[in-house]
Amino acid sequence: MKIRCVVIDDEAIARRAIADYVRRIDALELCGIFKNAIEANDFLQKNEVDLLFLDIQMPQLTGIQFLRIFNKDIGVIFTTAYSKYAIESFDFNVIDYLLKPISFDRFLQAVNKAIRYFGESNLEKKEDFLFLKEGSTLRKVVISDIEYVEAMQNYIRITLGSESVMALMTLKDFSSQLPDDSFVQTHRSFIVNLLKVNRVEDDAIWFGEKSVPISKRNKADFMKKLK
């Protein structure tokens, strides 16, 4: 099931940019684009929507004022030019807080948070997945298919059986999007999926014919979780 979303922003350029980003991600369904919260309110009262891409500083009714009077439970990703509202915004059901100008990479990171959020709450999904940017391509990665992740300078390489995906992000950022119960860091450069481990020998973890190192610092925690 796709995440049904709406864009609300008083700036035409920002509306077009965010709407274009939404259309590029298969997990999202764009249901409406509005230049202010008052117009959006009429639509939202009559239609089921999961997620708002919501500007804050708007005339007549700010994004925060709108959420204070809005009477539906809905996910929110703020899209704003102002950092000063960040603390106040988390009084609401906020998934992420994006500062303009918003890069597609940062937008995609927020969407992956939304995918995880709805997967754990009220959207029925057959699989948990992330969308990762590999060059100019968006790759869908099913989390349960991941064997291990390796840091490679500014990139990470995600190994999925016989194939791999290269993405421009840090190991730390990627690990924050993985479930804690099945993924564990075994080395400063590696995260592994416990459910895919075939065997452990000395300082190596094996996935079929492939292996990754395990450091002395991380081995105790890994063995505890493996058991």
Summarised one tens digit per residue, pLDDT across range 115-152 is: 888 875 544 444 578 888 888 888 889 999 999 999 99
* Strand order, beta sheet including 199-201: 199-201, 204-207, 210-213
- Residue 159, C-beta contacts closer than 8 angstroms, at least 6 positions apart: 146, 147, 148, 149, 150, 207, 210
Domain count for the chain? 2
The DSSP secondary-structure symbol of 154 reads T
Do 164 and 213 lie in a common domain? yes
Summarised one tens digit per residue, pLDDT across range 7-65 is: 999 999 999 999 999 999 999 999 999 999 999 999 998 999 999 999 999 999 999 99
Do 99 and 152 lie in a common domain? no
Do 72 and 143 lie in a common domain? no
Q: Supply the pLDDT for residue 156.
A: 95
Do 91 and 177 lie in a common domain? no
Residue 37 lies in domain: 3-126
Do 187 and 93 lie in a common domain? no
Report which of 3, 34, 2 is spatially closest to residue 18, judged by C-alpha positions: 34
- For 30, 54, 99, the CA distances from 65, given in Å and listed in that order, are 23, 12, 19
Sequence letter at residue 192: V
Last residue of a domain, one of 126, 148, 180: 126
Summarised one tens digit per residue, pLDDT across range 192-214 is: 999 999 999 888 999 999 999 99
Q: Supply the pLDDT for residue 120.
A: 58
Please report, rounded to a whole number, the percentage of residues in the chain having pLDDT higher than 90: 60
Do 46 and 140 lie in a common domain? no
Do 18 and 47 lie in a common domain? yes
Last residue of a domain, one of 95, 126, 157: 126
